[in-house]
Structure 1
Amino acid sequence: MQQYQTGLSLLFWGLILTFFNFNLNEMSILPNFVGFIIIIFAIKKMVPLSQQIQKLLPWTYIMVVLSFFNWFSPLFDYSITSHNSELSGFNIETPELNFFSLIDTLEIVIGLIFTYFLMNFYISLARASVEERWSELYQRRKRFYMWTHGLMAFLIPLAMLMPQLFVLPMLVIMILVFIATIRVLMTSYRIMKLAEEDKMVFEDMTEMEQFDFEKNKGRVLTVILLYLFVWLLVFLV
């Protein structure tokens, strides 16, 4: 039980560091990869109690590498390769194709898979708690996160092709992405508090956790192929 409490606490604080950036002269004071390293420690703390949480590990390692590369992006001059689009007095920088824009997009995609497994883990924990009804709310939060971040991943290459056309959609989706991110953090915090208050039953967790990622391989493959096609258009135009 103590392992779960410590692991869930580390998981929450690691997510805080990955979701929020504190910048000084455009450089992050607490880079995202530090948060993901903390998450790795959190996962390893809980693996002896739940083998399913181990599915997060490979995606977390990838996120460490991607966020490490992303940390260096402010050191490079983007003035030649970026667009500034104006909408109703707001200045919005739309991305163009370069190495770090590819890293950004890849980080969103891998982050989607990471959050998918993370939220499924939280849902299974909610079902084992005294507040089982919360699992349905967490399902909705997971779907909202997947849709918003998935749309963001598709909009990035499209914004490179037609920046003026996608200014408004980018603005709207950025707001929705922020809301979805806050909801995931709220879920993580609530699960952490339930564990601290001994309101969870951790026996037979492996049997309770039903990850359906493998059941949707066809859909996932279709989305990936469509996504690669959009990027191919960016390279060809």
Structure 2
Amino acid sequence: MSHNATPNTSRVELRKTLTLVPVVMMGLAYMQPMTLFDTFGIVSGMTDGHVPTAYAFALIAILFTALSYGKLVRRYPSAGSAYTYAQKSISPTVGFMVGWSSLLDYLFAPMINILLAKIYFEALVPSIPSWVFVIALVAFMTAFNLRSIKSVANFNTVIVVLQVVLIAVILGMVIYGVFEGEGAGTLASSRPFWSGDAHVIPMITGATILCFSFTGFDGISNLSERPKMQSASFRARSS
């Protein structure tokens, strides 16, 4: 008497513990809205003040990737994101390489954020050694990430809201300064986009740095198994 073992082919998924809003907020947190204040000065020096045009170049380049993610997340609703897309669309070997490349991105991005935060804290409290801020920030972020995905989502929501408020305050101060005669003295000017001393190559070089502000859709696609809503609804909204 023989027994035919039936393999378990059921798909293993992550627990659905999030709604759409926290998922979107985590994607926005990954994009880091206030990153523009970190990179603006660097890119402004590279492009002779033509940062908006550099952002336009970055937007055009990233738009094709974002559209691809929108199509792939509907076809492969998996938390593997780029790894899964490359593995199933091209080959397992390419997926393996993309997966390790993505892992490096997820390792380096927090390091950059910690270093930027350290610079700000060091400027605010110069009497405290910089390594203290680094250790404290790493310990805090690690502890929070070890709690649960819902805790991380709630924390990211608070961070995004604070960033939006700060951006609104800074934008209001800029508009007030323009009306007071500072800068170009007008809200509408073509000089930040193009002028006589503008050069395309420095703008494209600056765009490579500004691409750092357009990585949130990858973070959202990594959470495609987390929303409580039906996967088809999430895929439609995320794309």
Q: Does TM-score exceed 0.5, indicating one fold?
A: no
Using CA pairs below 8 Å that are at least 6 residues apart, which structure has the higher relative contact order?
2
Relative to its length, the structure with more strand (as a share) is 1
Which of the two has higher C-alpha Rg? Answer: 2
TM-score when normalising by structure 2: 0.27
